[in-house]
Amino acid sequence: MKILGEIVTNKYIYIPVLLWFFIQLFKVLWDLIKDHKFDFKRILGAGGMPSSHSAVVCSLAVLIGKEYGFSSSNFALAIIFAIVVMYDACGVRRAAGKQAKLLNKIISTPGLTGVEVQERLVEVLGHTPTQVFVGALIGIIAGAIL
């Protein structure tokens, strides 16, 4: 039970997790206002403005830098981790989302393929560089303030 208490009170866990939750909640509310459609699945979905992935890793890096120093190996590890995550979010996963969109269009074109599909591929997987930048900025600010 002591371990659970330590995990719950660990600021390196609860601050990034709460930040992720509030950004995802913002996306649900934004979609509700913009599209007049409530999609609770959006809270766990990827993609959109801002990037919660970027916010989480940047807040974690700033928290670690403040605690252990910005020249520490812990901070270096956190920054490299953040760069990899952000690169993946706007590079690899974004490309996969574009491919999913194209494949969905191909398989839904009547007479083009004989492929029968049970469900469509998820198209919103990655982020634009702007979405990653805004998420990173939110994470840096949150990590600095909290």
- Closest by alpha carbon to 104, among 39, 90, 38, 113? 113
Residue 136 has pLDDT above 90, yes or no: yes
pTM: 0.77
Sorted by sequence, the CB contacts under 8 Å of residue 122 that are 6+ apart come out as 45, 46, 97, 100
Q: Where are the beta strands (DSSP E) in 42-97?
A: none
Domain encompassing residue 39: 2-88+128-145
Sorted by sequence, the CB contacts under 8 Å of residue 125 that are 6+ apart come out as 46, 47, 93, 94, 96, 97, 100
Percentage of the chain exceeding pLDDT 70: 84
Residue 94 has pLDDT above 80, yes or no: no
| 39 and 104 within one domain | no
Residue 43 has pLDDT above 90, yes or no: no
- Closest by alpha carbon to 116, among 129, 104, 128, 107? 107
| 12 and 76 within one domain | yes
| 73 and 42 within one domain | yes
Residue 115 has pLDDT above 70, yes or no: no
Q: What is the pLDDT of residue 76?
A: 98
Instruction: Compute the distance between CA of residue 133 and CA of residue 54 in angstroms, rounded to an integer.
Output: 8
Q: What is the helix (H) or strand (E) element at residue 36, kind and residue range?
A: none
Q: What is the pLDDT of residue 84?
A: 95
**Structural domain count of the chain:** 2
The stretch 10-37 carries a mean pLDDT of: 89
Site of tokens 């560089």: 129
| 80 and 10 within one domain | yes
Could you report the per-residue pLDDT of 46-59, keeping only the tens digit for each?
777 899 999 999 99
Residue 92 has pLDDT above 90, yes or no: no
More confident residue, 60 or 103: 60
Residue 35 has pLDDT above 90, yes or no: no
| 77 and 40 within one domain | yes
| 64 and 43 within one domain | yes
| 103 and 45 within one domain | no
| 69 and 58 within one domain | yes
